[in-house]
Amino acid sequence: MKTRSIFDKELRRIQDEVLALGSMVERSLVESVDLLKRRDMKGSHELVAQDRVINEKRFKIESDVLTLIATQQPVAIDMRVLAAVLEITTELERIGDYAKGIAKINLLIGEEPLLKPLIDLPLMAEKARDMLQKALEAFIQRDVELAKSIPPMDDEVDQLYNQIYRELLTFIIADPQSIDQANYLLWAAHNLERAADRVINLCERVVFTVTGKMVEMDTEEGIAEIN
Amino acid sequence: MLVQPLELDLQHLQKEVWALGLIVERAIVESVDVLQQRPLGGSQPLIILDHQITQKRLAIELDCINLIAAQHAPGDDLRTIAAMLEIATELGRIGDYITDIAKIHFMLVRVEAPLLELFGDICLMATKTQSMLQRALEALQRQDLALARCVFVEDDEVDALYDHVYLGLLASMGGRSRAVIKKMRYLSQIARNLERAADRVTNICEWIAFSLTGELALVGDEKIYQEDFV
């Protein structure tokens, strides 16, 4: 087999692994909130343990990328793709950590009943998952326009976060007994907000991979190129 | 003795990573100024430093990849290059945490009693984080394993300060107005970012240790797999 086709085949395999890692992380994110909602302690323990598999997969992909670079002769665009894989796996692992964090919050709240039924937190998780799915698709398709269409979804996540924040603040003011749990729930919302922010990092990386230009996708200020 | 081209490239790479570290360190100093609302006389705004950090990190990343691709680096050198790649990523993340602090602080506007004491501890966390990074960069420059390991002790101090600040904020939230509770939340986020930044400095030290010893034991469960919920 020619060197180029070996390279292409291996790159496709690595990208499939990135997608598999992405699916694991997407599942963790939504499940962590579902477990919190259902007060499922056993499931949360399992999710915390499962995070190790995500971490190991990230390091395996990184190692495969470095081996590919060392053994083949990638051209400039390939270099950007491989660098993007390294960045994306790091971000995915961190998003996985946020999901694990939410599982831990469930364990920390323990058997105590929730202050209120969870509605906005699951919505935030689903939106963050949708953003992540689209960002990975944009990477695989090298679709700059798709990548640029994702940041406005982050505004919706931010709005939900603000809503949760206001609501939980009201609980804290009304009842000092609720402070601990309200804070835990605020951190859970914070984790989801950060997870969505990390998806924006992925989108920026997709643009860089295709165009060679680094942009900042702060939706309040639009998309700005970094000089 | 003739210095091999790969060795020169590795020296250059390490210098570039070190230079990136200096920019991040400057960003931490700047963030302390922002927190203490001192005039930013002559220093660069955080946003410019943040852009510089991103650019330099990307350049280092490409240098690493080019180096791996162009040379048939022996195992030890490959390990060093991989470690430099990880350190550059960690420095970039520290830069993100620090830039976020400035954004959160902007919403905080002004800190007044009863938050002043805890705020003082937050400023101390920032100073300690900067000192940790300074030592980590020195360890990188001198290839000093013992010095890299010393940094962990300082991280315990930052963790203790964080616990003190976080629990202190929780304990005094009851009966406060919405505006004060909001400020407390902002402060806990700033403290959290600093705690995370300090953790990432220890990750850098673990990667320095890895590049020198080849052992992943230190880069193991304790730090890379964080046991925190944020």
Q: What is the pLDDT of residues B134-173, one digit of tens each?
A: 999 999 999 999 999 899 889 999 999 999 999 898 888 8
Considering the domain boundaries, does residue B31 fall inside one? yes
Chain B partners of A176 at a C-beta cutoff of 8 Å?
173-175
Of the candidates A221, A156, A218, the residue with the CA atom closest to the CA atom of residue A192? A156
Which residues 54-83 on chain A approach chain B with CB closer than 8 angstroms? 55, 62, 66, 69-70, 72-74, 79, 82-83
Q: Where are the alpha helices (DSSP H) in chain B?
A: 5-35, 46-70, 75-108, 116-142, 145-171, 178-213
Nearest Cα of chain A lies from the Cα of B165 at a distance, in angstroms, of 14
d(CA B113, CA B111): 7
Indicate if the pLDDT at residue B40 is higher than 60.
Answer: no
Residue B222 falls within a domain, yes or no?
Answer: no
**Residue numbers of the domain that contains A210:** 3-225
Segment A107-124 shows an average pLDDT of 94
Indicate which CATH number applies to the domain containing B154: 1.20.58.220
In a domain, B226, yes or no: no
pLDDT attached to residue B225: 36
pLDDT for B3: 54
Q: Is residue B230 part of a domain?
A: no
**Mean of pLDDT over chain B:** 83
pLDDT tens sequence across A36-64: 999 999 999 999 999 999 999 998 999 89
What is the percentage of chain B residues whose pLDDT exceeds 90? 43
Q: Give the tens place of pLDDT for each residue, A11-35.
A: 999 999 999 999 999 999 999 999 9
Contact B58 A73 (CB under 8 A): no
Q: How many CB pairs under 8 A join A and B?
A: 83
Tally of structural domains, chain A: 1
Residue B99: partners with Cβ closer than 8 Å, 6 or more residues away: B27, B46, B47, B49, B50
User: Could you read off the pLDDT of A147-185 as tens digits, one per residue?
Assistant: 999 999 999 999 999 999 989 989 998 888 999 999 999
| CB-based contact A102 B78, cutoff 8 Å | no
pLDDT value, residue B152: 87
Q: Which residues on chain B are in Cβ contact (under 8 Å) with A61?
A: none
Q: Is B226 on the interface with A (CB under 8 A)?
A: yes
Highest mean pLDDT out of A74-83, B46-55, B69-78? B46-55
- Asked, for residue B131, whether it belongs to a domain, the answer is yes
Chain A: nearest CA to B102, how far in angstroms?
16
B170 at interface of A, judged by CB pairs closer than 8 A? yes
Q: Count other Cβ atoms within 10 Å, centred on residue A211.
A: 13
A30 touches B at CB < 8 Å: no
Q: Which residues contact A194 (CB under 8 A, 6 or more apart)?
A: A98, B230
Contact status, residue A196 vs residue A130, Cβ threshold 8 Å = no
Q: What is the CA radius of gyration of chain A?
A: 19
| B185 to chain A, closest Cα gap in Å | 9
Which residues 6+ apart lie within 8 Å of A112 measured at CB? Answer: A181
With a threshold of 0.90, tell me whether the complex ipTM lies above it. no
- From the list B65, B177, B181, the residue facing A79 with the nearest CB is B65
Model pLDDT, residue B129? 96
Residue B80 belongs to a domain: yes
pLDDT of residue B41: 46
Of the pLDDT bands very low, low, confident and very high (cuts 50, 70, 90), residue B215 is confident
**Does the beta carbon of B150 lie under 8 angstroms from any beta carbon of chain A?**
no
How big is chain A, counted in residues? 227
**Nearest CA to CA, how far is A183 from chain B (Å)?**
8
B48 in contact with chain A, both atoms CB, cutoff 8 A? no
Supply the CATH number for residue A215's domain. 1.20.58.220
A127 HSE (CA, 13 A, CB side): 25
Q: Got the DSSP string for B153-219?
A: HHHHHHHHHHHHHHHHHHHT-TT--HHHHHHHHHHHHHHHHHHHHHHHHHHHHHHHHHHHH---STT
In chain B, what residues touch A183 (CB-CB under 8 Å)? Answer: 170, 188
> Per-residue confidence at A227, pLDDT binned at 50, 70, 90?
very low
Instruction: Collect all residues of chain A within an 8 Å Cβ-Cβ radius of residue B226.
Output: 97
Query: pLDDT per residue over B96-106, tens digit each?
Result: 899 888 778 76
Number of domains in chain B: 1
Owning domain of residue B18: 5-213
Per-residue confidence at B39, pLDDT binned at 50, 70, 90? low
What is the per-residue pLDDT for A221? 52
DSSP state of A52: H
- Residue B183: per-residue pLDDT: 86
User: What's the confidence (pLDDT) of residue B227?
Assistant: 42
